[in-house]
Amino acid sequence: MKPIVQISLDLTNIDEALQTAELAIRAGVDWLEAGTPLILAEGLHGVRELRRAFPGVPLVADLKTMDGGYLEAEMMAKAGATHVVVMARAHAETIKCVVKAGADFGCQVMGDNMVCPDMVAGAKWLEDLGCDFIIHHIGYDERRGIAAAGQPMPSPLDQLRAVVDAVKVPVQAVGGLSIEQAIACPQHGAPLVVLGAPLTIDADAFRTADGDLESSLRMICEAVHAQSVQ
């Protein structure tokens, strides 16, 4: 697939999320993501509002589902999500339920391998259970805790190529990437480039970052869209 730019709206109110989404779409962003903070704050209302405002744009609901998979996926699909996220650390039956709901309600499933003991095996397991995409993910708290301990910071780039080589479905890399690293993801075989905290969102306050966000996003989108996936 051609490289795609997705913005994670890790915000806590729908008005700011809608404003950020509007400028992101103007800048060339392809997909919107209702981030976990937004879903916690606004729930189905937030997803419905994003769908109403952007009717033709793919919309990821980052549920991080661990249980109750069918119902969660059904609710988000009916609210307008085109993609939902389930965790590899969930039970296999939960992942199967999310995949079944995705098939029933026309919603694709993204499997997240965060905190898997073996990230590559976790990605392959998600694919085998029917996930349409893999999110190769080093978590926010994990990264902050490791940094506070003065230990080397892990990066999703460390094993990204191994994950890409292990699966046939598209992969995205998430977790502490610089702008330059995010732009380079297609060169590592990962066509889904995610922009979020700390690239475009203030990670501590969960609000839109200061500065000319639209111009920055436009530059990133142009750089990503000019590539082919390696």
| Banded pLDDT at 34 (limits 50, 70, 90) | very high
| Banded pLDDT at 149 (limits 50, 70, 90) | very high
pTM: 0.93
At 116-147, the pLDDT tens digits run: 999 999 999 999 999 999 999 999 899 889 98
The verdict on residue 218 lying in a domain is: yes
We report the CATH number of the domain holding residue 101 as: 3.20.20.70
- Given a contact cutoff of 8 angstroms between Cβ atoms, the answer to whether 59 and 34 are in contact is yes
The verdict on residue 96 lying in a domain is: yes
The verdict on residue 139 lying in a domain is: yes
Number of domains, the chain: 1
Give the other-Cβ count within 10 Å of 91's Cβ: 12
Q: What is the CA radius of gyration of the chain?
A: 16
The verdict on residue 68 lying in a domain is: yes
Task: Supply the range of the domain harboring residue 112.
Answer: 4-225
At 51-106, the pLDDT tens digits run: 999 999 999 999 999 999 999 999 999 999 999 999 999 999 999 999 999 999 99
Position 201 pLDDT exceeds 60: no
- Distance between CA 89 and CA 215 in Å, rounded? 38
- The terminus-to-terminus CA distance of the chain in angstroms comes to 11
List phi, psi (to 5°) of 173. Answer: -110, 130
The verdict on residue 38 lying in a domain is: yes
The verdict on residue 230 lying in a domain is: no
The CA dihedral of 136, 41, 208, 133, to the nearest 10 degrees, is 20
Tokens of 178: 């610089």
The verdict on residue 22 lying in a domain is: yes
Q: Which pLDDT belongs to residue 207?
A: 54
